[in-house]
Amino acid sequence: MQQIVFYLARAANGVIGADGDLPWRLPADLKRFKALTMGKPMVMGRKTFESFPSPLPGRRHIVLTRDPNWQAEGAEVAHTPAAALALAADAPEIAIIGGAEVFALYRDAATRIELTEVHAEPGGDATVPPFTDWHETAREDHPADGTRPAYSFVTLTR
């Protein structure tokens, strides 16, 4: 059975982004994201794709957009949630990486969530509601360090 897995960092107030960027700097979160998504097809919205300086190495970039004319080097374009999943139908796992609208589209289909809980309440313009109907199966807590907030790596399943 194909797994549909969310990969995201979410602050205590639900914020996942601010002006097309992350509102925190957590190198360990970026390292974990890279390790967990390497070799997997990633489904994302256009704004998430455009927030990268260039396509991330070692991963397919399936970009969900309503714009029928949009295209970009390194992006496989899909115009519906089903079409995006169909592009990766042969993969055992599809990584859903954002943004907020994309997480909302796949919320009912997700089978696991790899969440970085950021223990802060930054301002931001992209939010995701809490995952209250999920069960925590793993947690690794990390203390604050200088200007970096405390955070926890959490795995959630249904």
- HSE at residue 6, side-chain half, CA atoms within 13 A, is 31
Dump pLDDT digits (tens) for 124-156.
999 999 999 999 999 999 999 999 999 999 999
Long-range contacts, stretch 102-110, CB < 8 angstroms, 24+ apart: 102/43, 102/44, 102/45, 102/48, 102/64, 103/6, 103/8, 103/16, 103/128, 104/128, 105/64, 105/81, 106/4, 106/6, 106/43, 106/81, 109/4, 109/85, 110/4, 110/5, 110/6
Mean pLDDT of 35-63: 97
| Residue 102, pLDDT score | 98
Percent of the chain at pLDDT > 70 equals 100
Q: How far is residue 97's CA from residue 39's CA, in Å, rounded to a whole number? A: 14
Mean pLDDT of 62-84: 97
Q: Domains for the chain: give ranges and CATH numbers.
A: 3-157 (3.40.430.10)
Q: How far is residue 120's CA from residue 10's CA, in Å, rounded to a whole number? A: 9
Given a cut of 90, is residue 91 above it in pLDDT?
Answer: yes
Given a cut of 90, is residue 1 above it in pLDDT?
Answer: no
Mean pLDDT of 25-44: 98
Mean pLDDT of 83-101: 97
